[in-house]
């Protein structure tokens, strides 16, 4: 095994360095989600996973799926939902961005492939649906003599 491979193995075995964040007068040390936290987190993000991308429209996300976002942030920050709910919008966005950054590996390996599979299934549905007929066109055939 090459020296760089050994170094990578050693680094992979070390616990992740927490992402320290000052929010609402508290210092949070965010680390990647633990396996026991994943079920609640995945249930919370599933309804808004399609919103997650390079650029997130936070206002739309909070407006349409705010309750789910609060639960996901509470799980990932290891804080009560009520604590997250009292945050200002700026602080909540800062927390959300930090949570997604710290858990980027999870999103890249799990969420993104799931979204790509979903997009592929949607594309196949569109392909198999055939041509779209206009509802305004006439469905009555006109009889014409052939001879």
The model's pLDDT over 8-24, given as tens digits with 9 standing for 90+, comes to 555 455 556 788 999 98
Does 76 fall in a domain? yes
Q: What is the pLDDT of residue 118?
A: 64
Block means of pLDDT (10 residues each) for the chain, 147 residues, are 54 66 93 91 89 81 92 96 95 92 75 63 65 48 53
Does 146 fall in a domain? no
Domain that holds residue 95: 8-115
Q: Give the 3-state secondary structure of 54-102.
A: CCCCHHHHHHHHHHHHHHHHHHHHCCCHHHHHCCCHHHHHHHHHHHHHH
Q: What is the pLDDT of residue 139?
A: 46
- Number of domains present in the structure of the chain: 1
Does 16 fall in a domain? yes
Tell me which H or E stretch contains 123.
helix 112-128
């Amino acid at each position: 095994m090459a020296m760089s491979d050994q170094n990578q193995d050693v680094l992979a075995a070390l616990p992740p360095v927490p992402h320290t964040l000052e929010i609402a007068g508290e210092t949070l040390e965010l680390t990647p989600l633990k396996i026991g936290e994943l079920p609640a987190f995945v249930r919370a993000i599933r309804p808004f996973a399609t919103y997650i991308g390079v650029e997130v429209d936070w206002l739309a996300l909070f407006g349409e799926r705010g309750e789910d976002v609060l639960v996901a942030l509470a799980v990932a920050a290891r804080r009560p939902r009520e604590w997250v709910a009292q945050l200002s919008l700026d602080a909540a966005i800062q927390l959300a961005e930090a949570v997604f950054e710290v858990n980027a590996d999870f999103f890249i390996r799990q969420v993104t492939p799931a979204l790509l599979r979903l997009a592929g299934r949607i594309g196949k549905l569109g392909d198999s649906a055939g041509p779209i007929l206009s509802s305004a066109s006439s469905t009555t055939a006109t009889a014409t003599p052939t001879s």
